[in-house]
Structure formats: C-alpha cells, structure tokens
C-alpha cells in the first residue's frame, strides 16, 4: 500500500518507486509532481536539434568551442562530429 507523503507530494506511488530506485527525496518529489500535473508532463529524452551530420562545419566548430574540445581547429567535419559525440 502506498504511504501518504503529505500535500507536497502529488503522486505518492511514483515518488515511492523513484525512492526505491535510489532517487533522492528532492528528485523523486520533482518527478512525481511533474507527472501528476498534466501541464507539466515530463519531456522525452533528447531535444529537437537535427543530427550533427546536418550541421555546418562552422556550427560544429562553435559547439566544440563551447565544450572546450581541444584540437578542433585542425579537425574535419567528421572528426568534429566524432569529438562532439565522445563528449
């Protein structure tokens, strides 16, 4: 049976499942409350960006610069893509 965690937790069942999986109290509460509110439904993983192959070399270079990837000025487009995916 699901325990009532008070008014600050909107979906007690989800909260308990997340806590059992090792999520912190704060994280479990955030996720449970977001799932309970239809206007705040959690998004899917990933964004709306096109794949790196569709990016220009300049855009890839700028992203590599933002991430501090070394040697980016000597990289071809394929190498930039590989470096960005490697993180």
Host domain of residue 32: 1-43
Q: Are residues 24 and 61 in the same domain?
A: no
Q: Are residues 57 and 38 in the same domain?
A: no
Closest CA to 5 of 29, 22, 24: 29
Q: Are residues 32 and 65 in the same domain?
A: no
Q: Are residues 33 and 58 in the same domain?
A: no
Q: How many domains does the chain have?
A: 2
Ramachandran sector of residue 71 (left: φ over 0; alpha: ψ -120 to 50; beta: rest): left
Three-class secondary structure of residue 51 per DSSP: coil
Q: Are residues 33 and 4 in the same domain?
A: yes
Q: How far is CA 12 from CA 6, 22, 28, 79, in A?
A: 9, 15, 10, 47
Tokens for 46? 């990933």
87 residues of the chain, pLDDT tens digit each: 567 766 678 778 888 888 888 988 888 888 887 777 666 555 566 667 889 999 999 999 999 999 999 999 999 999 999 999 997
Query: What confidence score (pLDDT) does residue 58 get?
Result: 96
Q: Are residues 35 and 59 in the same domain?
A: no
Sign of the dihedral through C-alpha 48, 69, 87, 25: negative
């Amino acid at each position: 049976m699901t325990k009532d965690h008070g008014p600050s937790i909107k979906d007690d069942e989800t909260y308990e499942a997340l806590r059992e999986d090792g999520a912190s109290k704060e994280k479990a509460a955030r996720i449970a409350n977001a799932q309970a509110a239809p206007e705040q439904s959690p998004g899917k993983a990933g964004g709306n960006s096109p794949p790196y192959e569709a990016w220009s070399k300049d855009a890839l270079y700028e992203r590599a610069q933002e991430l501090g990837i070394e040697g980016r000025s000597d990289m071809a487009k394929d190498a930039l893509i590989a470096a960005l995916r490697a993180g």
